[in-house]
Amino acid sequence: MNEVVKNSFLFIGLIVIQVTILNNINFLGYINPFLYILFVIVFPVRRDRGLLLVLSFLLGLSIDFFLDSGGVNAAATVAIAYFRLPLIKALTRKTEIDFPLFKIIRLPFLKLLSFIAIITLTHHLILFSLEYFKFAEILTILSRTILTSIFTIILIIFSLLLLNKNK
Amino acid sequence: MQQIISFILKNKYFLLFLLLEILAFSFTLQSHSYHKSKFVNSANSITGGVYSKINAFKEYTSLKEFNEQLMEENARLKNLIARSNIDTVLNAITVLDSTKYHQKYSYIPAKVIRNQYNRKFNFITINVGSNHGVKHDQGVVNSRGVIGITNSISKKYATVLSILNENSKINVKLLKSYHFGSLSWNGDDYNILQLIDLPIQANIQVGDTIITGGRSTIFPEGILVGTILDFHKENNTYKEVNIKLFNDMSAIGPVNIITSFDKQEIDNLEEGLN
């Protein structure tokens, strides 16, 4: 399948799944995983980072529109989109020549897991910090970040397996 | 000039990143301020359309409960009419007093298409908008009590600042006396709210009923809120008065939006005072 078509499907599909199903889970009263950041994780690695930044902003903002949450999802998603490339470089020691053939899923499992974990934790920490917006709430922010991250990471790994089985 | 251009080209991704973050931050700041309508809201036609589609499915699971609520309300209203019939005879011989029959409020029926209660700043989306006469800052209630205040309005949908929002403050009073306070939420339990600024002179007991105070132009006096669950006294003030709502905020369906005909007049008067 064409890469552009595939990524557009993923973009819209992730918003639909997030809004219709995942935002209504309310596990333990408040835990809702944010699977939509899967888009930032699987988006093809390129030298040109502008497109990913803009798409991440639009993805986050769409979620914000549905959740009435201002710009918290947009801010968090743009941040992980920006720090994705430096993180991949640090984890894999790959150079820009390798990128056209590089696929996130081909990473050894431990590296893949730590990549997903760092991305997810960063995203959730920014998200909840901006949402609560109070230093006094630091404990709530941390506990929500960690609990929600666990669910998001598990979901992302399952989705990655599922996406790759189809090929 | 050359240097500026080369600086921009060298750091274009960082500058783009910064620009997008600043945009996102400004949306966030806007969402934390209480009175403004927000640019990012779920009242637009896309999000509203999606939510009403989802709601069309979900509605069936709670039809029974909503039916019971409406029956309850019907019975209450029928009782009111039955009672008012008793003194129509008296009214018939008195001169019609226009101030007495002057209508102060009207109600617009609506349906909640998206309910939120698991965050600190919760919003509800309803399926009526400016086409139906909904405006900014109108009260939203159902048969069991207060729900919130309208916030962002589009043509067909509107968002409601839920009482489960840390920015929400609603004037309330005790049913048994004229002591006023404010209803706010600390973000913990979605069925327990806090009554603040209650004067120490108010003699309260567990189980006392709280109703809206009618001091703001948004809610009429006497709409149900909840009962006092527990309270602490500290330094001769009421520290924390917890209120158990009559509503279950996780399951709300049909609601009414209150239009106050006197709001403009009262607001103008009060503005003149300041």
Q: Tell me whether residue B14 is in a domain.
A: no
Q: Pick the residue from chain B with its C-alpha nearest to A70.
A: B28
CB contact under 8 A, B24 and A71: yes
Residue A85, pLDDT > 90, answer: no
Domain ranges of chain A: 3-165
Residue B110 lies in domain: 49-81+102-257
Tokens in use for A103?
């696929």
Return the HEC string of B116-130. Answer: CCCCCEEEEEECCCH
Q: What does the pLDDT average to over A100-105?
A: 76
* pLDDT score at A166: 61
- pLDDT digits over B65-108, tens only? 888 888 888 888 888 877 766 555 555 455 555 555 567 788 89
- How far is C-alpha B147 from the chain's CA centre? 4
Is residue B205 in a domain? yes
d(CA B123, CA B137): 14
Task: Report which DSSP code applies to B38.
Answer: P
Q: Average pLDDT, stretch A18-22?
A: 88
pLDDT (average), residues B243-248:
91
Residues of A in Cβ contact (< 8 Å) with B44: 65
Whether B187 is covered by a domain: the verdict is: yes
**Between chains, do A71 and B38 touch, taking CB under 8 Å as contact?**
no
For B146, the 3-state DSSP assignment is strand
Token pair 């640090």 is at which residue?
A: A90
Whole-angstrom distance, CA of residue A126 vs CA of residue B25: 11
Which of A100-104, B65-69, B145-149 has the least mean pLDDT? A100-104
Q: With contacts defined as CB-CB under 8 Å, which chain B residues touch A78? A: 17, 20-21, 24
B47 touches chain A (CB under 8 A): yes
Is the pTM above the cut of 0.95? no
- Measured between alpha carbons, how far is A156 from A161 in angstroms, rounded to an integer? 9
Contact B28 A68 (CB under 8 A): no
Q: Determine contact: B28 vs chain A, CB below 8 A.
A: yes
Q: CATH no. for residue B173?
A: 2.40.10.340
- Please check the confidence at residue B27 and state whether its pLDDT lies above 70: yes
How much of chain B exceeds pLDDT 90, in percent?
Answer: 26
Reported confidence tier of residue B28, pLDDT bands at 50, 70, 90: confident
Q: What does the pLDDT average to over B156-183?
A: 90
Name, in order, each residue with C-beta under 8 angstroms of B196's C-beta and a sequence gap of 6 or more: B181, B182, B183, B184, B241
Q: Hey, what are B11's tokens?
A: 């750091």
Task: Decide: residue B251, CB within 10 A, 0-12 exposed, 13-18 middle, 19+ buried.
Answer: middle
In this model, does residue A152 exceed pLDDT 90? Answer: yes
CA atoms of B148 and B257, how far apart (whole Å):
9
Q: Higher-confidence residue: A110 or B94?
A: A110
The pLDDT tens digits of the residues spanning A24-47 come to 888 887 788 999 999 999 888 877
Sign of CA dihedral A52, A54, A55, A58: positive
Within-domain flag for B75 = yes
Supply the pLDDT for residue B95: 52
For residue B97, list its beta bridge partners.
none
Least confident residue range of A142-146, B93-97, B155-159, B166-170: B93-97
The C-alpha atoms of residue A6 and residue A163 are separated, in whole angstroms, by: 11
What is the predicted pLDDT for the residue at B213? 86
Q: Which residue of A has its CA nearest to B49?
A: A66
Q: Is A117 helix (H, G, I), strand (E, B) or coil?
A: helix
pLDDT at position B86, please? Answer: 57
Contacts of B216 (CB under 8 A, 6+ apart): B170, B171
Three-state DSSP state, A56: helix
B56 contacts chain A (CB < 8 A)? no
Domain count, chain B: 1
**Complex ipTM, two decimals?**
0.88
What does the DSSP 8-state code read for residue B155?
S
- Note whether B32 contacts A: Cβ–Cβ < 8 A: yes
